[in-house]
Amino acid sequence: MGISSENISVFPSVRRVFTRPTSRMMSEQNLVGLVNKLIDAEGFVIPTYKSTNGVYDRDANGNKILIETISGDYPLEFNIYGYYFKIKDPYTELQLASRNGNVYASIEIVEFTGDDEVIYEELFGQDELESNEYTGLIITDNLASITPTHGGYMRTLKIATFKDGQWIVPKESRIKFDQSSLTIDVIDGGLIS
């Protein structure tokens, strides 16, 4: 017995007769929606581990060595509201030499109506040809300055903190799941909390 076609959505899917066109599209909204369903946090910094020639360096206990400081040596990767960002030289690009305190990355999500009359959400911003700058990511050390300017809503992540004379990734910004998601049933019947 199968499930009624009008009562199931599949993404991505190309071989369906009764489907919405959006199920076939690798659209921004579909991809972002999928990522947001897989994590609990609206944003997080992706950990960077020290490596040599593509192989992770390990400490004396065999654990990968986490890079906690932000410099120009390693990229800074993060997710805000399902959008992935990678900044190649974060120390220079975030202008950390001229900042103190915390640094935030912010995006604006706007709505538009597609040709199919469906309302979609997308990240506002683009590459500006004249200045060679990307306008979809706002970097600031002033939370009060983060306001929507194109009729959308903002999503913000703290990506850097100045502590003990160096820039680090804040621990709270590495969290992807809340505790309720981390209770896992184990095969032998025990629980991991």
Number of Cβ within a 10 Å radius of residue 122: 17
Top-confidence residue, 69 or 181: 69
Q: At 38, list the tokens.
A: 């897989």
Top-confidence residue, 190 or 177: 177
Residues of the domain holding 66: 42-174
Taking only the tens place, the pLDDT of each residue in 70-122 is 888 888 989 999 899 999 999 999 999 898 899 999 999 998 887 777 778 88
For residue 155, being part of any structural domain is answered with yes
Which pLDDT score is estimated for 16? 59
| Helices within the chain (DSSP H only) | 28-38, 90-93
Radius of gyration of the chain (CA): 20
For residue 142, being part of any structural domain is answered with yes
For residue 7, being part of any structural domain is answered with no
Q: At 30, list the tokens.
A: 């579909």
For residue 191, being part of any structural domain is answered with no
Give me the chain's average pLDDT, please.
Answer: 81
Which pLDDT score is estimated for 133? 87
For residue 193, being part of any structural domain is answered with no
What pTM does this model have?
0.76
For residue 118, being part of any structural domain is answered with yes
Which pLDDT score is estimated for 118? 75
For residue 138, being part of any structural domain is answered with yes
What distance in Å separates the CA atoms of residue 80 and residue 137, rounded to the nearest whole number?
Answer: 10
Omega before residue 12 within 30° of 0, cis: yes
Taking only the tens place, the pLDDT of each residue in 109-159 is 998 887 777 778 888 988 888 888 888 999 999 988 899 999 999 999 999
User: Three-class SS of residue 148?
Assistant: coil
Please say if the pLDDT value at position 8 is more than 80: no
For residue 117, being part of any structural domain is answered with yes
What percent of the chain is predicted at pLDDT more than 70? 78
What distance in Å separates the CA atoms of residue 19 and residue 25, rounded to the nearest whole number?
Answer: 11
Number of compact structural domains in the chain: 1
Residue type, 26: M
Tell me phi and psi for residue 174, to 5 degrees. -95, -5
In 3D space, the residue among 77, 79, 80 whose CA is nearest the CA of residue 89 turns out to be 77
* Cβ contact 109:81 at 8 Å: yes
Please say if the pLDDT value at position 20 is more than 70: no
